[in-house]
A and B are shown apart, each in its own frame.
Chain A
Amino acid sequence: MPVHKFEDFIESLMQKAPVMGPVERKDQPGFYLFDWLENPEDFIPAYTGTTLPPKKAFFPPDQVLFDFTADTPPKIVPRQQTFSFFLMGVHPCDLAALAALDMAYLEPPAEMLWAENRKRAVIIGMDCMPDEYCFCTSTNTCHARKPCDLFFTRTADNYVVEVYSQKGRSLINQFALKKATDDDCLARDRHQYRKENAVCAHFHADVAELADILEREELQETWKEIAGRCYSCGSCNTTCPTCFCFNMHDAFDVNLQSGHRHRTWDSCQLPEFAAIAGGENMRKERWQRVRHRWHRKFDYLYRQFGMPYCTGCGRCSRACTADINIVDTTNQLIASARKPASE
């Protein structure tokens, strides 16, 4: 697709259904967020990354699950959005994260809320260039394509469009695109090569080894050292594309006649996350919560689903209020685990 046709393509999508894509934050120029496009030119193809991941299209930070009345007996009315939409411009790491969430939420007993929301969207991926926080080559997500319908890679004058579904194909039919030439494919491959080589942060172990490494008992002191720097603010979880823990709470309307049950994102780093009735807390110590996060990403869910629940997007490192970098910290854990016992 010629670059000059790209805005026409977005416009054609917008005529069919709402389009969510990366736009520049008006309050913070140079930062981006996934939002509903008002104009085709709002879409920023070369965005570096968004603060919040695109999972919010299917699992919003704050969502009303159902409305209720205060009658006797009360009425409960479930809420489910039904309109179709396009999720456009998703980077490979974030595609991999959606695949991870598909597995976690659809694992029986499946969460139909997620499943229904996923059915509403056509997903269009787009390749990117890394910044200093990205480490997708370490999580094997650098070239992830699942679960997208179309995937765009920018070359000098064109976009090379990979088609992954019939739904995707139907969207580009009207543009009478010419078949990608060998040169086009070569240009795309060159982009991928440049991208891989531009990733400057790397784990010092294969991601498949981390599950065993993290279970080493001698890491106790390292967990405590890392926790000594952590503020337990939860920024890492709230910006993570694969975190899926949540809270539920009720709120009455001001008339006190009706209300809503909300579901909001939660963070396992917050002190009260594992508190139970009667005052006990199952992860009272900060190091226990820090350890839990690493285990969930690279051990528990890795063993359950065969992929790390970290896609190398670097959002947690960018967002960390204490500058805890996930790559540096993971490498610190790897080094501690490999240190001979005598030292």
Chain B
Amino acid sequence: MVYAPELATILRISDTTPTEKIFTLQKNSGPLTFSAGQFIQVSVLGYGEAPFSVCSSPERTENFDICVRATGNVSDALHRLSPGDSIGIRGPYGRHFPTQKMQHKDILCIAGGVGLACLRPLISHIRHHRDNFARLTVIYGAKTPAALLFKKDLEKWQSDDTMDLHQIVDEPDENWQGPVGVITDPLKTLAVRADKTIAAVVGPPVVFRFTAQELLHKKVPEDRIYFSLERRFQCGIGKCGHCQLNDVYICQDGPVFSYAELTGRSEATEACLPE
């Protein structure tokens, strides 16, 4: 039955920020095969179902991670669970990042807030096959230093001389040494090889609007700027209607779209594209 989830077990829960928890999960029936950018539907039986990006490396097959911010019925219920508890999952669903097209290109990953969860599999994939890609740059903006996700990864990426990491926060605390501002600040000063670059952007709609503006200004072509759009997916198979954006179903046709695919769609312009 298409809507009945498979059982999975919580192996580990790690607190990364005051509001988000990382859950390491294992499907009872075997490994989960997915590609960077795909999402799964997670059930806490009795509370309902909600979509989450798989946020671990696609190369890690024995188990996988999701990052959960407690903002609703299901995510609140997830935060109350413990290792050993069972949940239900369906998927993976959706179109992933175009990792084939990205080969031998400069990859620019731009994450706002919890958007890093969706980009982490792509960054891991690129680092795993490092020779297949040219430059790797990650720009990550968060509201506060405490809200920065995946701090261990950030340390690793910071010391990895095959990639560049730019972190920026909006509201610094007394220990913050890095730059203060918005996510487009490091982008503005970044030297971008427009003819070789593919950008992947994940964050709230306001991040799409301003980074797209900046990337277009830097002459990155419209079909090489990718967004992953978030919606409250319910069915995952293009039927329930909740994720419709004009004529496309984000759960099936996306969630990863190029700017070129979104421009001309009025609901994309109203929500997240530059005017």
Contacts and interface: CB of A to CB of B under 8 A. Distances in A.
Interface residues of B, number: 44
A36 interface: no
Nearest to A303: B247
Interface in B33-54: 43, 45-50
Contact of A73 (B7, B47, B204, B267): B7
A176 B72 CA distance: 63
Interface string A80-112: 100000000000000000000000110101011
A104 B85 CA distance: 37
Contacts of B235: 111, 246, 248
Given A73-B86, A250-B46, A259-B46, A273 B242 contact: yes
Contact of A76 (B7, B50, B267): B7
A9 interface: no
Interface stretch (B98-106, B169-177, B185-193, B226-234): B226-234
A275 B242 CA distance: 9
B271 interface: yes
Nearest to B45: A68
Interface of B: 1-5, 7, 9, 28, 43, 45-50, 69, 71-72, 75, 84-86, 88, 204-205, 230-232, 234-235, 237-242, 244-247, 252, 267, 270-271
Contacts of B84: 72
A248 B231 contact: no
Contacts of B46: 68, 70, 250-252, 259
B241 to A, nearest CB: 3
A304 to B, nearest CB: 7
A219 to B, nearest CB: 11
A166 to B, nearest CB: 30
Interface in A218-269: 244-252, 259, 261, 263, 266, 268
A266 B7 contact: no
Contacts of A252: 46
A246 B4 contact: no
Contacts of B1: 65-66, 78, 80, 112-113
Nearest to B247: A300
A278 B2 contact: no
B239 A244 contact: yes
A246 B7 contact: no
Contacts of A74: 7, 45, 86, 88
Contact of A277 (B48, B75, B234, B270): B75
B199 to A, nearest CB: 22
A277 B252 CA distance: 19
A145 interface: no
A277 B247 contact: no
B18 to A, nearest CB: 16
B272 to A, nearest CB: 9
Contacts of A268: 241, 244
10 contacts: A65-B3, A74-B45, A112-B1, A245-B242, A246-B239, A251-B46, A266-B241, A268-B244, A296-B244, A300-B244
Given A246-B234, A250-B46, A278-B204, A76 B88 contact: yes
The 7 A-B residue pairs with the shortest CB-CB distance in the complex, in nearest-first order: A245-B241, A78-B1, A300-B247, A73-B86, A68-B45, A109-B237, A78-B4
Contacts of B9: 73
A113 B238 CA distance: 14
A132 interface: no
Given A66-B4, A259-B46, A261-B43, 6 more contacts: A65-B3, A73-B28, A261-B45, A266-B242, A277-B69, A277-B75
Residue from the set B28, B45, B231, B234 with the largest chain A CB neighbour count within 10 Å? B45
B45 A111 contact: no
Contacts of B204: 278, 280
Contacts of A186: none
A72 B86 CA distance: 7
B247 A304 contact: yes
A292 B244 CA distance: 9
Nearest to B86: A73
A299 interface: yes
Contacts of A76: 4-5, 7, 45, 88
